[in-house]
Amino acid sequence: MGEPFAVRLFDRVRSLGPLCVGIDPSRQLLESWDRPDSVEGLEFCALAVLDAVIDTAAAIKPQVAFFERFGAAGYRVLERLLDDARDAGVLVVADAKRGDVAGSNVGYADAWLSDRSPLRADAVTTSPYLGVGALSPLFDLAAESGRGVFVLAATSNDEGRALQSARTASNERVQELVLRSIAELNQRADGRGVIGVVLGATRDRPLFDLATVGGPFLVPGVGAQGATADHVARLFERCPPGTVLPSVSRAILQAGPDRAGLRDAARRWRDDLSQALP
């Protein structure tokens, strides 16, 4: 892979700007694009978005649920999308939100972060309900293979707030527990910055100093979910340049299937975000 994920992300954000385009080929999207709700519709949609944003997006973020929906055949399409993105030099964050006990996370690490896997991506999103510690097989393989892991801290939706704001025995909220655990792990990993965080742009600034997390930030909730480039800039104002990756999905996808429409929407968001972020 050459350089570690954090370095590749920094380089790509510096040259293209900080836009991540979410690829969410849901049933509704296929319908609104006038495409069949089938593996063929899925493949058309996924590859059309990649093609339209190759020169604009630092990264794409396929939502794995919409590929899994078609079973093995949908995963074949995801493998093709990953291959094509790799060939084009576009970074891929597989939005899988995987998470299990450590022994099973070895399987998820192999799936998304191993050089030999057909599903290998530049980074994968993970869920810490079974503990940040249980995710260590993912962190270890990411460090080894030059890939990245984003762990959910505070998500962009409302339904998760009660849980993510619950207080641990040391009176720390769950979202800060996640942020602090990751900051400690990134420090031990000698600044490699393997472990990133998912932090919704629609949320308030956490009590933990984001500038000390030491890894990249994946930031959903921009566009259709209500947050603007300025929200993102304020939330991450003290974070190092090239570490903040806002992700826009619907606000770009709704401009398709027309290639020029998709490209122009991506450019507008890219320009907005480039201007607002350091």
Token representation of residue 37: 């709700």
Minimum CB–partner distance for residue 25 and a copy of itself (Å):
9
Interface with a copy of itself, residue 158, by CB under 8 A: yes
Token representation of residue 50: 């990649």
Q: Could you check whether the bond before residue 257 is cis, i.e. omega within 30 degrees of 0? A: yes
Minimum CB–partner distance for residue 246 and a copy of itself (Å):
16
Minimum CB–partner distance for residue 18 and a copy of itself (Å):
22
Cα(23)–Cα(27) distance, rounded to whole angstroms?
13
Site for a copy of itself in 163-192 (CB under 8 A): 163-169, 173-174, 177
Q: Which residue has the tokens 């972020």?
A: 277
**CB-count burial class (<10 Å; 0-12, 13-18, 19+) for 171:** exposed
**CB-count burial class (<10 Å; 0-12, 13-18, 19+) for 79:** middle
Token representation of residue 84: 């094509």
Interface with a copy of itself, residue 38, by CB under 8 A: no
Interface with a copy of itself, residue 119, by CB under 8 A: yes
Interface with a copy of itself, residue 203, by CB under 8 A: no
Token representation of residue 259: 């290639």
Token representation of residue 48: 């059309």
Interface with a copy of itself, residue 104, by CB under 8 A: yes
**Looking at 87, 103, 204, 260, which residue binds a copy of itself (CB under 8 A)?**
103
Does the annotation mark 97 as catalytic?
Answer: yes
Minimum CB–partner distance for residue 22 and a copy of itself (Å):
10
Interface with a copy of itself, residue 68, by CB under 8 A: yes
CA 215 to centroid of chain Cα atoms? 13
Interface with a copy of itself, residue 100, by CB under 8 A: yes
Quick one: which of 93, 24, 14 has its CA closest to 59?
93
**What residues make contact with a copy of itself under the rule CB under 8 A?**
24, 26-27, 63, 65-66, 68-73, 75-76, 78-79, 95, 97-108, 110-111, 117-119, 127-134, 152, 155-169, 173-174, 177
Residues marked active site are found at 97
